[in-house]
Structure 1
Amino acid sequence: MTGTPKLSVVIPAYQQGRFLGETIRSVLQQKDAALELIVSDHSSTDDTLDIAERFRSDPRVRIMTTPAGGGAAANWAAVTRAARGEYIKLLPGDDTVTDGSLARQVALLDDNPDAVLVGGARRIVGATGKTIAPRRGLQGLSAHMSGEAAVRQSVLSGTNPFGEPGAVMMRRAALEAAGGWQGEWSYAIDLATYYAVLRHGDFVRDDAVAATFRVSAGQWSVALVEKQAREIRALFDLAAVTFDGITPADASRGAKKAQRMARLRRLIYTLMPGGRTR
């Protein structure tokens, strides 16, 4: 691909051969989006790399590998460093973007030069691809709001209203200014990164469903829910220190709500059809 692309879509993949082809096709079939697509295989032992290689002939596609070790954060960081676009979207190797979402989010950032992050709704699917929830996200977020106001709304809601990475697009310069993906956070790496990026500008809302997000029952074990709740509490406490408009009381209120909602999601995802791993 010649020239600098407007948008870099980066896919950090690991053991996702079953879904990766669908993920890549969801990007390459987009219309009116000048993009590069970078797929990074994190030393998978299944056919993840072979699936990626099938798309190498497309001039928009680059394939890279990262050595084993460092967890998901290492692959997220490596594939993001390879990006050249003004805007960046990280798309997990088992999720997809919806038709038209890339051009729509690029336009939102183009039209709002003070904005550094756009978030959209997402459709939740199970391990088999069956829809669990047709639309989630954007709780309490206005069409355009300051970064601090958006972070406070997230804290008060006890959740991640911006969306998983596939539903979010950021200015690459703001992500770099924030120090890149916040790899010190295990479960909240995406939300912690959004908070860091939103210190550098505003938030804009994409009202449409921008991506699908795949869940399985294994993601919602009791032990995991408790670990996630502790990390979210620590993140909310940090937000109260970082942003003048967020108080310790806000953080405490949000953390309690986050724990309640995590337990409820676990129950819903494991009981509804498509929520269990086969």
Structure 2
Amino acid sequence: MSPSVSVCIPAYQAGEYLAATINSVLRQTFEDFELLVLDNASTDATPDILRGFTDPRLRVLRNPEVLPVAANWNRVISKSAAPLVKLVCADDLLHPRCLERQHAVLAGDRSLALVCSRRDLVNEQARPIARNRGLRGLLGRHDSRTVIRKIVRHGGNPLGEPAGALFRREHFDAVGGFDGRWRFPLDLHLWIRLLEHGDFYGMPESLAAFRIGRGSLSAQAQRAEYAEQRSLTERTATAPQWTVPRVDRMVGAARAPGARLRRQAAFLLARRQAEHRATGG
């Protein structure tokens, strides 16, 4: 019998944090799930760590050669067996009740395409940098067009990273999965496409944690991320199926620099904390 939820972890050179990520999934109060980990031809301790787990809910796969990020993420989901899917990056964490709370919402309402929760930002030692981030103005149920307008007006990604989201496998397949033409807004592009198939529900609890490390984003990467984010926002705003008012586009353009600065501040704080700890401060 197929499980109700598939949790998919794409792992590449993930030895430092992978065990903690897997344990956060295996400790869920909701038990009807499978956990798939796809090792993307790692050469570090990742294979050894995976061999140390014996939980029957865990399936381990390995690529013979390194795949690009989008291809790797798509492959691990393609191997899943459940109707509902959560993708968790190999350094992020789930709250113990994450699957319990999100499954109850998404499985109970077929008109919903996407459920997201708030999330914490944590440093390399999993200590909180900021709590209960995201979903401002998006808590509870919202029709998809309202959410798209909120995304455009936000100027960034108000829905958050993959660990905070739960979606339907049938919708993922219908939109073609993650689109490798996008690098930084890879997840947000998928959320936008999924919303073509149903409505959205934002959960007020912080049910996932996004880990920020010293090497997470260079200055060059920050500029590239910002440019891609603006490109995706403009493309979404002008898509005929959403009929986004021009004023929303103007608000989003004005807010985008602020969204970028808030994200930069979180990454800078994490970097300083890591450097402080490394020097024994």
Which TM-score band (shorter chain)? over 0.9
Partner of residue 79 from structure 1, selected from 76, 81, 102: 76
Q: CA deviation at 1:193?
A: 0.4
Letter in 2 for 1:189: L
Partner of residue 32 from structure 2, selected from 16, 24, 34: 34
> 2:19: which partner in 1?
21
Letter in 1 for 2:223: E
**Does the residue aligned with 1:184 lie in a helix, a strand or coil?**
coil
Partner of residue 197 from structure 2, selected from 200, 213, 225: 200
Deviations 1:158-194 (A, max 9, x none): 2222221001000111111111112211000000000
Q: CA deviation at 1:265?
A: 2.6
**Does the residue aligned with 1:219 lie in a helix, a strand or coil?**
coil
Partner of residue 182 from structure 1, selected from 174, 179, 186: 179
Matches within 5 A, 1:64-103: 64-103=61-100
In the comparison of the two structures, how many residue pairs are matched?
275
The verdict on how the C-alpha distance between 1:103 and 1:54 changes in structure 2, with shifts beyond 3 A counting, is: same
Structure 2 unaligned regions, length at least 5: none
**Does the residue aligned with 1:192 lie in a helix, a strand or coil?**
helix
1:263 equivalent in alignment to 2:261: yes
The verdict on how the C-alpha distance between 1:38 and 1:104 changes in structure 2, with shifts beyond 3 A counting, is: same
The verdict on how the C-alpha distance between 1:140 and 1:70 changes in structure 2, with shifts beyond 3 A counting, is: same
TM-score for both structures, normalised by structure 2: 0.92
Find the aligned partners of 2:13 and 2:71 in 1 and give their Cα distance: 15
**Does the residue aligned with 2:16 lie in a helix, a strand or coil?**
helix
Q: CA deviation at 1:252?
A: 4.5
Deviations 1:13-36 (A, max 9, x none): 011111111111111111233101
Q: CA deviation at 1:143?
A: 0.7
Q: CA deviation at 1:106?
A: 0.3
TM-score for both structures, normalised by structure 1: 0.93
Deviations 1:202-246 (A, max 9, x none): 001121111010012433432222111110111112212323331
Structure 1 unaligned regions, length at least 5: none
Q: Is the 8 A contact 1:128 1:274 kept in 2?
A: no
Partner of residue 113 from structure 1, selected from 101, 110, 114: 110
Letter in 2 for 1:13: A
> 2:145: which partner in 1?
148
Matches within 5 A, 1:164-243: 164-242=161-239, 243=241
Find the aligned partners of 2:125 and 2:262 in 1 and give their Cα distance: 21
User: What percent of counterpart residues are identical?
Assistant: 34
1:163 equivalent in alignment to 2:160: yes
Find the aligned partners of 1:120 and 1:4 in 2 and give their Cα distance: 25
1:7 equivalent in alignment to 2:2: no
Q: CA deviation at 1:271?
A: 3.6
**Does the residue aligned with 2:37 lie in a helix, a strand or coil?**
strand
Q: CA deviation at 1:82?
A: 0.3
Root-mean-square deviation (CA, aligned residues, Å) is: 1.8
The verdict on how the C-alpha distance between 1:59 and 1:230 changes in structure 2, with shifts beyond 3 A counting, is: same
Q: CA deviation at 1:251?
A: 3.2
> 2:242: which partner in 1?
244
Find the aligned partners of 2:186 and 2:271 in 1 and give their Cα distance: 28
The verdict on how the C-alpha distance between 1:19 and 1:198 changes in structure 2, with shifts beyond 3 A counting, is: same
Find the aligned partners of 2:252 and 2:265 in 1 and give their Cα distance: 20
Q: Is the 8 A contact 1:233 1:252 kept in 2?
A: no
> 1:46: which partner in 2?
44
**Does the residue aligned with 1:116 lie in a helix, a strand or coil?**
strand
Deviates more, 1:220-229 or 1:204-213: 220-229
The verdict on how the C-alpha distance between 1:216 and 1:258 changes in structure 2, with shifts beyond 3 A counting, is: farther
Partner of residue 61 from structure 1, selected from 38, 58, 62: 58
Find the aligned partners of 1:186 and 1:275 in 2 and give their Cα distance: 27
**Does the residue aligned with 1:17 lie in a helix, a strand or coil?**
coil
